[in-house]
A = this chain, B = another copy of it.
Amino acid sequence: MPLLTLTSDIGSPDYLVGAVKAQLLHLNPDFQIIDISHNIPPFNYPQAAYVCQSAIKNFPDFTYHLILVNLFEKKPEQLLLAFHNNQYLICADNGLLTMILEETPEIVIGIPLEKTAIKNTTYISSIMGKIVNQLVNGESIKSIGQSDVTYLEKRHLRPVLDNNSIEGQIIFIDSFENVIVNITREQFEEQRKGRSFRIVFTRNEVIDRISESYADVADGEKLALFNSAGYLEIAINKGNAAGLFGLRGFSEKARQGQLSYQTIKVYFE
């Protein structure tokens, strides 16, 4: 049973997630389909990249990841099929691929879409399913499309580094209102060079150590840790950090009349 994942911005009340699965099962009733999320906020590339990247690395090798996010950023002319770290990714040519991988994929293939076809979500998902079937049937990845393809590359939001600080952007706020920042443990330690540090946000909130677990601090106290995905997280033990500190995602609009912050700065000294 080929293992496929789906990530999209379709949303739960729509019929389209069901229609996409129908298209796929039509092509191959043996597809085993796992939903990552269908609640990627519209046009929020940093969050889409964070969700896809963090989910994908947990899957068994040779899983097929279908990413139906911002399919219509531009007029769809081709799909991209990438193979990287033993995972297959299929997505639109909208820049998201390199944001997810944070490096140039080992292999990228362009799959041209028929000029005359109506390129809506169900059509695109059926093309994605056909690509998976070709791979499952043993076709070589390079025979499926164009290997010298030109495609849109966007870079993941990157923290701003200097010798004595890192400024990170908020890429996700989870259901507990924990705040995820685009600073990985590796970046943090590399920049830190063993020095002490202060994580500063919302004017004058300061955290000066990394916890291992929420319960390392008392109820209602703030803390910082590195989450399952390896990213810096600001939280309040049994509280809601984003709401309390006025923090919001880098791509999200501020609510009217509400002061809020989208970055977090770490000082090394």
Contact = CB atoms under 8 A, between A and B. Distances in A.
A9 B175 contact: yes
Interface stretch (A144-152, A192-200, A212-220): A212-220
A90 interface: no
A105 interface: no
Nearest to A27: B60
B39 A22 contact: no
Given A12-B12, A214-B72, A175 B42 contact: yes
A42 B242 CA distance: 14
A190 interface: no
Interface in A209-243: 212-216, 227-229, 238, 240
A13 B51 contact: yes
Interface in A1-60: 1, 3, 5, 7, 9-19, 21-23, 25-26, 29, 34-43, 47, 50-52, 54-55, 58-60
A174 B26 contact: no
A110 to B, nearest CB: 18
A240 B41 CA distance: 12
Contacts of A238: 43
B174 A55 contact: no
A4 to B, nearest CB: 12
Nearest to A122: B228
Contacts of A23: 58
Contact of A34 (B21, B43, B52, B228): B21
21 contacts: A3-B25, A13-B40, A13-B51, A14-B175, A15-B36, A15-B37, A16-B228, A17-B36, A19-B55, A22-B55, A22-B58, A22-B59, A22-B60, A23-B58, A25-B34, A29-B60, A42-B176, A58-B122, A75-B213, A118-B212, A122-B228
Given A25-B60, A73-B215, 5 more contacts: A13-B47, A18-B36, A26-B59, A26-B60, A29-B60
